[in-house]
């Protein structure tokens, strides 16, 4: 009998860790392989950045409530976000698409319309890809190529003790937007005559359906003369992404609960759904904000930027990655993945 080990016995992070542990890079122009938001390639004058993400119907999106135009936008935006996290400029994307004959030509046009809007917003070119039939719904695999000045690249593994921990925008909204959409779907399935109750919830819904990669902040940091010591995008939730920075940098961190930026609509949705807003921020994911560290000397240069919140600091104690709660206790930060 052959041995059979279930994937579920490892979980998402265990599986990825196992796959990655067996992979080594050998080429001199491969500056960084697996383990950051994008791979880093020496192209001569600059570094090239390469990243790729998958969006699957039934896993990453539900077309019952996900407009195809937004989906197209999101597919590009989440890839651009990986380039932003390296402090890079996205340039070209390729799009692989597989679709069943359930989709009409008009539906495909909608999807591409959203991708084109994102390409225009982020100033990237759609340069290629593969289109195929699918036996089960829609599948989008986007790859992005970007570039960055060799002196300006930001990795995950270079945070330093005493650096300030910063995050852009606000957190938790995308997750709560998804929960609201899921709830309305269930209501609609139970009673198709019901109208969705999404009034006053436009912001959190938009956070889920149409996230915007924070290229604006990448440019603003450069203008302010601030180079982060480390950076990652918040795709899996603040907890998981902070743990990546800490583990790879060999440092600890303290996050102040009261400093975590959360929008008013996110608080309302959290209350309505009976979900802790901090839990949504820490473990919800899909916010596509930037989490980064800066030396304390940079504080004055960006303290007035309303898009940036200072949420804590980096410590030398890599065993201690904690949330400092409003009640002045310290709770270890842990991550969750799919199983």
**Footprint of its own copies on 96-135 (CB under 8 A):** 96, 98-99, 101, 103-106, 108-109, 112, 116, 123-135
Interaction mask 33-72, its own copies, x per CB under 8 A: xx---xx-x-xxxx-x-xxxxx-x-xxx------------
Select the residue interacting with its own copies from 1, 66, 85, 139 (CB under 8 A).
139
Pair of tokens at residue 179: 């929960």
Is the CB of residue 287 less than 8 Å from the CB of residue 74? no
- Binding flag, residue 276, its own copies (CB under 8 A): no
- Binding flag, residue 136, its own copies (CB under 8 A): yes
Residue 45 is assigned to a ligand binding site: no
Residue 112 is assigned to a ligand binding site: yes
Q: Rounded to whole angstroms, how far apart are CA atoms 95 and 93?
A: 7
The terminus-to-terminus CA distance of the chain in angstroms comes to: 26
* Residue 140 main-chain phi, psi, to 5 deg: -130, 125
Closer of 2 and 258 to its own copies (Cβ)? 2
| Shortest Å, Cβ 90 to its own copies | 10
| Shortest Å, Cβ 35 to its own copies | 8
Q: Quick one: CA dihedral 61, 63, 67, 72, positive or negative? A: positive
Closer of 105 and 190 to its own copies (Cβ)? 105
| Shortest Å, Cβ 261 to its own copies | 27
Residue 156 is assigned to a ligand binding site: yes
Select the residue interacting with its own copies from 63, 67, 92, 185 (CB under 8 A).
92
Closer of 42 and 220 to its own copies (Cβ)? 42
- Binding flag, residue 18, its own copies (CB under 8 A): yes
- Give Cα 12 to chain centroid, integer Å: 16
Q: Which residues of 225-260 are buried (b: 16+ CB within 10 A; e: fewer)?
A: ebbbbbbbbbbbbbbbbbbbbbebbebbbbbebeeb
Residues 6 or more apart whose Cβ sits within 8 Å of residue 104: none
Closest CA to 78 of 46, 28, 114, 104: 114
Instruction: Tell me which stretch binds its own copies (CB under 8 A): 142-150, 200-208, 246-254, 302-310.
Output: 142-150
Closest CA to 177 of 111, 82, 263: 263
Query: Binding site membership for substrate: which residues?
Result: 60, 286
């Amino acid at each position: 009998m052959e041995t059979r080990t279930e994937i579920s016995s490892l979980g998402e992070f265990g599986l990825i860790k196992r796959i990655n542990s067996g992979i080594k890079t050998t080429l001199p122009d491969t500056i960084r392989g697996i383990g950051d938001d994008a791979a880093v390639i020496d192209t001569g004058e600059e570094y090239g950045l390469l990243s790729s993400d998958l969006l699957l119907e039934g896993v990453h999106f539900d077309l019952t409530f996900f407009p195809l135009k937004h989906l197209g936008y999101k597919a590009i935006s989440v890839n651009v976000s990986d380039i932003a996290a390296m402090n890079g400029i996205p340039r070209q994307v390729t799009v692989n698409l597989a679709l069943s004959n359930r989709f009409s030509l008009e539906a495909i046009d909608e999807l591409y319309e959203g991708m084109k809007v994102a390409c225009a917003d982020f100033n990237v070119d759609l340069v290629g890809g593969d289109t195929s039939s699918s036996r089960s719904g829609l599948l989008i695999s986007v790859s992005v190529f970007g570039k960055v000045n060799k002196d300006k690249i930001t990795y995950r593994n270079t945070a330093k003790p005493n650096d300030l921990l910063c995050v852009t925008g606000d957190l938790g909204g995308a997750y709560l937007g998804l929960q609201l959409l899921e709830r309305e779907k269930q209501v609609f399935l139970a009673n198709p005559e019901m109208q969705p109750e999404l009034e006053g919830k436009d912001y959190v819904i938009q956070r889920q359906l149409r996230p915007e990669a924070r290229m604006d902040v990448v440019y603003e940091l450069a203008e302010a003369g601030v180079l982060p010591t480390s950076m990652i995008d918040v795709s899996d939730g603040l907890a998981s992404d902070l743990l990546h920075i800490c583990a790879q940098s060999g440092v600890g961190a303290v996050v102040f609960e009261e400093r975590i930026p959360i929008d008013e609509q996110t608080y309302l949705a959290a209350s309505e759904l009976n979900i802790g807003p901090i839990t949504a921020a820490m473990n919800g994911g899909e916010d596509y904000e930037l989490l980064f560290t800066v030396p304390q000397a940079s504080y004055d240069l960006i303290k007035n930027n309303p898009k940036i919140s200072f949420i804590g600091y980096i410590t030398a104690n890599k065993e201690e990655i904690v949330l400092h709660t409003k009640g002045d206790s310290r709770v270890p930060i842990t991550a969750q993945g799919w199983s």
